[in-house]
Amino acid sequence: MKFTTGVKSIDSLLSGGIETGVITHVYGAFGTGKSILAQQICVTVLKDSRKNDSVIYMDTEGSFNPKRISKIAFRFGLDYGVLKRILYKRIWSLDEQELFLKLSEDYIYRFNAKLLVIDCIATHIRGEFNQDVLILRQTRLESILNKLLDMCTNYDVAALVTNQLTSGPDSSGEKYVEKPVGGNLIAKFCKCSIRLYRLKEKRYASLDDSIDVDSNFAPFVIKEDGIHDENG
């Protein structure tokens, strides 16, 4: 099943919307709109779910904004009651992130969660491990992704992880490029990877492995009530 994101051009990048049973990855530099998109998708998923369904939101950075969510909810014909259907947890450490992910399995079952968001997946991994313990870092990330994928497949829940950018050598090893934290590992677990970026005052989303560049990018704008199509 697929849920709309509320943005036609982004839905079309995702071939219809955010899919249940798989992990969707949204990454980009600071201020590109990852958290706002994640919060908007909570609303659009709830809009198209039953009244007693919920979503789970793990917030590692304190970006959750109930006021904005209310505004997004009004835009989609819901009211601030939508906030009661978002199981929110501020995550302060990597241990807590792993623990809450385990507990989420029970919440999915008890509260009919349809979506699980981690905004942003690598904050604590980066904060607690530096580059010289890369293997340890990748192992912890892999275990989180494993657990997440296991849960979305078993319960047919959509998972959305946001992620930051880091710089590292390209495949030729000759120049440095910007890529998502945990690059190949994340790609292995996520069905779809979308990059948000800004270019000449405009905002875009694009598919990571897009071959057809013309049709695989989506211009969008951010307003008080969330993310809109550029001409929406």
Ligand X SMILES: Nc1ncnc2c1ncn2[C@@H]1O[C@H](COP(=O)(O)OP(=O)(O)OP(=O)(O)O)[C@@H](O)[C@H]1O
The H or E element spanning position 117 is: strand 113-119
Min dist. Cβ of residue 181 to ligand X (A): 11
Neighbours of 207 (CB within 10 A): 19
Min dist. Cβ of residue 30 to ligand X (A): 4
Min dist. Cβ of residue 1 to ligand X (A): 25
**Choosing among ligand X, Mg ion, none, which partner's interface includes residue 28 (Cβ < 5 to 8 Å by kind)?**
ligand X
CA end-to-end span of the chain: 25
Q: How large is the C-alpha radius of gyration of the chain?
A: 17
Between 20 and 206, whose beta carbon lies closer to ligand X? 206
The H or E element spanning position 205 is: strand 202-207
Contacts 24+ apart (CB under 8 A), 123-129: 123/60, 123/61, 123/164, 124/60, 124/91, 124/93, 124/94, 124/97, 125/94, 125/181, 125/182, 126/164, 126/181, 127/94, 128/93, 128/94
Min dist. Cβ of residue 65 to ligand X (A): 8
**Choosing among Mg ion, ligand X, none, which partner's interface includes residue 210 (Cβ < 5 to 8 Å by kind)?**
none
Between 108 and 218, whose beta carbon lies closer to ligand X? 218
**Choosing among Mg ion, ligand X, none, which partner's interface includes residue 32 (Cβ < 5 to 8 Å by kind)?**
ligand X
Min dist. Cβ of residue 73 to ligand X (A): 16
Between 17 and 28, whose beta carbon lies closer to ligand X? 28
Q: Which of 63, 65, 153, 166 binds Mg ion (CB under 5 A)?
A: 63
Between 34 and 114, whose beta carbon lies closer to ligand X? 34
> Residue 156 and residue 21: Cα distance in Å, rounded?
4
For residue 43 the two structure tokens come to 């609303």
Residue 151: name the closest of 185, 186, 107, 181 by CA: 107
Between 28 and 182, whose beta carbon lies closer to ligand X? 28
Q: Which of 4, 5, 32, 35 binds Mg ion (CB under 5 A)?
A: 35
Residues near ligand X, by CB under 6 A: 28, 30-36, 61, 63, 222-224
Min dist. Cβ of residue 34 to Mg ion (A): 5
> Residue 9 and residue 15: Cα distance in Å, rounded?
10
**Site residues (CB under 5 A) for Mg ion?**
34-35, 63
